[in-house]
Amino acid sequence: MFEWTICKNCSKVFDNSKDTCPICMRKTDKFNIDFLKNYLSDMLFVIGTLDIAILKDHCSQIRLQNRPLKEIILDDLVRYLSFLALADSIVTDNELEFINELIRTDYTKEELTGDIENLPVSFECMHELDLFAVKFDMAGIRACNELYEVYEFLGKFFITVDGDLNTDVLEKYQKYMKSLKNNLDDYLTDDEPVKPLKLHKNDKEEHQGSLEEYMDELNRLIGLEKVKKDVNSLINLVQIRKLRRERGIKPPSMSLHLVFSGNPGTGKTTVARLLSKIYCKIGLLSKGHLIETDRSGLVGGYVGQTAIKTKEVINRAMGGILFIDEAYSLASNSENDYGKEAIDTILKAMEDNREDLIVIVAGYPELMDRFLHSNPGLESRFNKFIYFEDYTSEELYEIFMLLCNDANLTLDEEADDYARQYFTRMEEHKPANFANGRAVRNFFEEVITSQANRLALKKDITDEELNTLTYEDFLVEE
């Protein structure tokens, strides 16, 4: 069984003989190959959930490869580790065992050629996946970053698998990682999913609206009546607090950090984005932007990496709102989990930057309650709760019709009747973790796909047919 030692302070990797770091003399942790296998499996699991058929319609490189993303990544990873193994011209027994056990393969030494591309095709696929995630509003996807971190992380362990670190191998590892980073260029991003250049907006473009326009946009959101009332009350409270301060009257102490709880697809991110703009307009925040992240954007894979990643995200959020989705996933009882380090870093930043940083944590109600009770610091700083209720059948129908209007689509009479009945059934039979608006969007995409299949069989298609959904189009599998 392979074992390594990592310094908790400087993150250096050593062989298993070191109890303290010889560089900074701090305490060390010990890890074995199972830890690395779990680390790789976690990344591949996330990628596997995103490996869907629609990707090939939008991602040319993924379509060209015509094989599962997991297979592409693992093939390139074997080439990378083989390249490191042959840095000293010899593949040792330990290196071969490491590769076969980590990748769950059965290579021979002769099969490890060491040939590697300056930019492996798996990174091009991950970049396409990042762009796809931006296009379809999939928060927290940073596949290219994750894969680069896998190469960097696993490489550190692999080059020490024989105990003694060969300086030539170390130099080759460092040189390749530097070259890879340069070749990736702007494929990598700090904390948010990578965005195409044309989608970037500066602060002036982002906040051209007035306070009244943003308030109106908030109040025109479908449903969410209780949320709107709570948010309006919160804004009034903030404005009066600001007025007291401007007149030299000490305002009462209060925390502006929030807990958004509720099922997915209930508008939590939309409300948070509007709140950031409103807070900017009333002078509470200097920039008023929203940085959205989740566990993957905050927690690293080895000691010392989490604090660095979390601080980078916080720095990007300064002057605005940091929105942490599924925040409860940071609180884990696992011995090798670094979520607690992320929580501690966030709490310190909240304390040090009270005047220009607001943090919103979001997730399922019960899990969020457990999360807040996991740390006394969380309970004291998050004392304002806004609950996002599930949409009613009528509101689900309104959301569907909004999507139709945006796509210049109308429903004939039979289709409209069916749609109303469908959303009534959807509400009556909804699961505990009902996806709300996301479920509506998924259904909308199924319906327009059904329409496309119907129309594709016709030779002459009129504009009216293109813009009309019929009862037949709604007969998708429920």
- 148 and 216 in a single domain? The answer is no
Question: At which of 183, 199, 215 does a domain end?
Answer: 199
Determine the residue type at 195: K
CA distance readout (Å), 335 to 15, 29, 260, 345, 368:
21, 11, 28, 18, 21
Residues contacting residue 249 through CB under 8 Å, at least 6 positions apart = none
SS3 content of the chain, % helix, strand, coil (to 5): 55, 10, 35
Question: At which of 388, 419, 454 does a domain end?
Answer: 388
Nearest to 294 by CA among 139, 136, 126: 139
Give phi and psi for 94, each to the nearest 5: -65, -40
Place of tokens 């696992």: 334
Cβ(62)–Cβ(129) under 8 Å? Answer: yes
In b/e form, how buried is each residue of 194-207, taking b as 16+ CB within 10 angstroms?
Answer: bbeeeeeeeeeebb
Residues contacting residue 226 through CB under 8 Å, at least 6 positions apart = 387, 389
- 399 and 358 in a single domain? The answer is no
- 44 and 103 in a single domain? The answer is yes
Question: At which of 199, 223, 243 does a domain end?
Answer: 199
- 224 and 362 in a single domain? The answer is yes
pLDDT of residue 471: 94
Taking the C-alpha atoms of residue 69 and residue 74, their distance in angstroms, rounded to an integer, is: 9
Taking the C-alpha atoms of residue 152 and residue 177, their distance in angstroms, rounded to an integer, is: 7
- 59 and 108 in a single domain? The answer is yes
pLDDT of residue 194: 37
Taking the C-alpha atoms of residue 260 and residue 275, their distance in angstroms, rounded to an integer, is: 12
Taking the C-alpha atoms of residue 390 and residue 400, their distance in angstroms, rounded to an integer, is: 15
Q: Which tokens go with 108?
A: 């021979």
Helical axes 121-135 vs 143-158, angle rounded to 10°: 150
CA distance readout (Å), 274 to 232, 280, 342:
12, 10, 26
Q: Which tokens go with 245?
A: 């301060």
Helical axes 143-158 vs 167-184, angle rounded to 10°: 170
For 253-281, write each residue's pLDDT tens digit: 778 899 999 999 999 999 999 999 999 99
Taking the C-alpha atoms of residue 383 and residue 168, their distance in angstroms, rounded to an integer, is: 55
Range of the domain at 130: 3-199
- 401 and 379 in a single domain? The answer is no
- 41 and 149 in a single domain? The answer is yes
- 138 and 163 in a single domain? The answer is yes
CATH of the domain at 425: 1.10.8.60
DSSP strand pairing (290-293 vs 410-411): unpaired
Cβ(154)–Cβ(81) under 8 Å? Answer: yes
User: 262: phi > 0 → left, psi -120 to 50 → alpha, else beta; which?
Assistant: left
Q: How many domains does the chain have?
A: 3
| Mean per-residue pLDDT pooled into runs of 10, the chain (478 residues) | 63 62 67 79 72 70 83 91 89 91 89 81 86 67 85 86 78 88 75 35 53 91 91 88 87 86 93 93 90 89 79 92 93 74 92 90 91 88 92 96 94 95 94 91 93 90 93 81
CATH of the domain at 267: 3.40.50.300
pLDDT of residue 202: 36
Cα–chain center distance at 361: 14
DSSP run (H or E) holding 454: helix 437-455
- 12 and 159 in a single domain? The answer is yes
Nearest to 100 by CA among 172, 13, 37, 173: 37
Size of the chain, expressed as the number of residues it contains: 478
Listing DSSP states for 146-159 in one string gives HHHHHHHHHHHHHT
- 9 and 151 in a single domain? The answer is yes
CA angle 111, 145, 258 (to 5 degrees): 145
- 338 and 214 in a single domain? The answer is yes
Question: In 209-364, which ranges are continuous DSSP H helix?
Answer: 211-219, 225-246, 268-281, 295-298, 305-317, 339-352
| 383: DSSP letter | -
Taking the C-alpha atoms of residue 80 and residue 460, their distance in angstroms, rounded to an integer, is: 54
Q: Which tokens go with 145?
A: 């970053």
- 274 and 324 in a single domain? The answer is yes
